[in-house]
Amino acid sequence: MTAAFAAPQTVRQDCWPIVPDRLEDLGVPRSVVADLVLRYLWLHGSGTLHLLHQTLKLSFPLLETLFHQFRNQQLLEVKGMTGDDYSFTLTATGRAQAAGRNEVCQYVGPAPVSIQQYQKVVRAQAAHVRLSRESLRQAFDDLVLPDGLLDQLGPSLIGHQSLFLYGATGNGKTSIAERILRIYKDAIAVPYAVEVDGHIVALFDPVVHKQVPFQDDLLDPRWAICERPCITVGGELSAAMLELRLDETTHVFIAPCQMKANNGILIIDDFGRQRLAPRDLLNRWIVPLDRRVDYLTLSSGMKFQVPFELMVVFSSNLDPHELADEAFLRRIQTKVLVENINAEVFDEIFRRVMQVYQVPTEPGCAEYMRGRCEEYTAAVLRACYPRDIYRLVKAISEYEGRPVRMTKVNIDRAVALYFAKSDPKQA
């Protein structure tokens, strides 16, 4: 084995599938694999075993078996040799058969894995982490979080249970949710596609699944080694995004967001403000959250089971009891209130913002900004104020063609723009 990526000990490499060299070991019907080869040759005109291996992620012994079977069936003919590899194309009979199969499905890519193997590997890769206050503080080192908040987050993250972050807007709920992924130091195997009842479900998403450098001659190349995924959905979340989507052009099913997030995190940001009503979402997921299994439906009406092995993080500035009933809240194991910040935390956030952006700062600006914000907000401080007001100061400076500098005069102008009130006393 050669490994460019040193996999941590927590990675369950023993559950990663080994490369199959026989058709009967693939776990999917032979017809599905044969159709892939036919469609590839029909699309590209010709091919070699090496090119098929690169695209379909099948082993050379397995491809050679198919190659000889297709020759015997007079579906392809050899045109010559490319080095020690065959160069071949479809016969008239092969083209006719490939054209027919292309009307049923146009998928040409890595061969799918069976739904049974997918279920097994996802279960084996369930997250297990060890956390302490110190290790959690390191994971959130670019945020200013009090120890009390860390001590509430820790137990939920260890159990990889669902989490509800709630509290006033601007206090860092989304920032906290997006950094939870840092507690995981391992990698997982993700299949490019899954086969269910002869249908192909495309699962691997390069936007979601970030591959890590890894090479193992024993690993089934139909699986990609990736970081644990983190998907964030907000107001655009709809009921359709939680179900299989059939691409009408290619006739390939696209996995829903919760299936793509398996072995990772799914963040429902601004929960309660989606196109999908909160009650509908809760009813859809009340069983998956409780039993960690989900059920999806093919266009034929056939239902099948997939693991729901992920952490769902709900983030909302609304009262949880206004969004969900007691039965659903019970299934969200941890509810953490992200409270308004105090003066000490505000000043530390201000200091970090100035340090990150390397802004020359007039003495006493932290206290002055804090006081001006309190005038507008009835002494309520939010974690977002220092960065948001800095951005306005920067915009004002750029507009006037002068260097960015944090001064009390600039703070006054930015604060007046930010809170959009002509008279602070009206707050």
Pair 289, 140: CB distance under 8 Å: no
Minimal CA–CA distance to 164: which of 389, 331, 352?
331
Q: How far apart are CA 407 and CA 396, in angstroms?
A: 12
What's the token pair of residue 382? Answer: 């939010």
Q: How far apart are CA 414 and CA 400, in angstroms?
A: 14
Q: What pLDDT is recorded for position 3?
A: 39
CATH of domain 29-110: 1.10.10.10
What's the token pair of residue 179? Answer: 């950094």
Q: Which residue do the tokens 């194309």 mark?
A: 89
Size of the chain in residues: 427
Handedness of CA 337, 338, 341, 344 (dihedral sign): positive
What's the token pair of residue 180? Answer: 């939870």
DSSP 40-72: HHHHHSEEEHHHHHHHH---HHHHHHHHHHHHH
Q: What pLDDT is recorded for position 343?
A: 94
**Span(s) in the chain for CATH 3.40.50.300:** 123-337
Q: How far apart are CA 275 and CA 260, in angstroms?
A: 21
**Span(s) in the chain for CATH 1.10.10.10:** 29-110
**Span(s) in the chain for CATH 1.10.8:** 343-426
Q: What separation, in Å, do the N-terminal and C-terminal C-alpha atoms of the chain show?
A: 66
Going across the sheet that includes 253-254, the strands are 113-114, 193-196, 199-202, 253-254, 245-246
Superfamily classification of domain 123-337: P-loop containing nucleotide triphosphate hydrolases (3.40.50.300)
Q: What pLDDT is recorded for position 245?
A: 95
| Average pLDDT for runs of 10 along the chain of length 427 | 40 77 93 95 93 95 94 92 88 93 92 97 91 90 91 85 89 92 93 96 96 90 96 90 93 96 94 84 87 93 95 89 79 87 94 95 95 89 95 95 95 91 52
CATH of domain 343-426: 1.10.8
Pair 249, 107: CB distance under 8 Å: no
Pair 185, 11: CB distance under 8 Å: no
Pair 286, 328: CB distance under 8 Å: yes
The answer for residues whose C-beta is within 8 angstroms of residue 105's C-beta and 6 or more apart is 35, 39, 199, 200, 250, 251, 252
319 C-beta neighbours (distance < 10 Å), count? 10
Q: Is 235 left (phi over 0), alpha (psi -120 to 50) or beta?
A: alpha
Q: What pLDDT is recorded for position 414?
A: 95
Q: What pLDDT is recorded for position 128?
A: 86
Supply the angle between the helices 49-56 and 60-72 in degrees, to the nearest 10: 120
Q: If DSSP codes are grouped into helix, strand and coil, which group holds residue 88?
A: strand
Q: What pLDDT is recorded for position 274?
A: 81
Q: What pLDDT is recorded for position 191?
A: 97
Please tell me the chain's helix, strand, coil percentages from 3-state DSSP, rounded to the nearest 5: 45, 20, 40
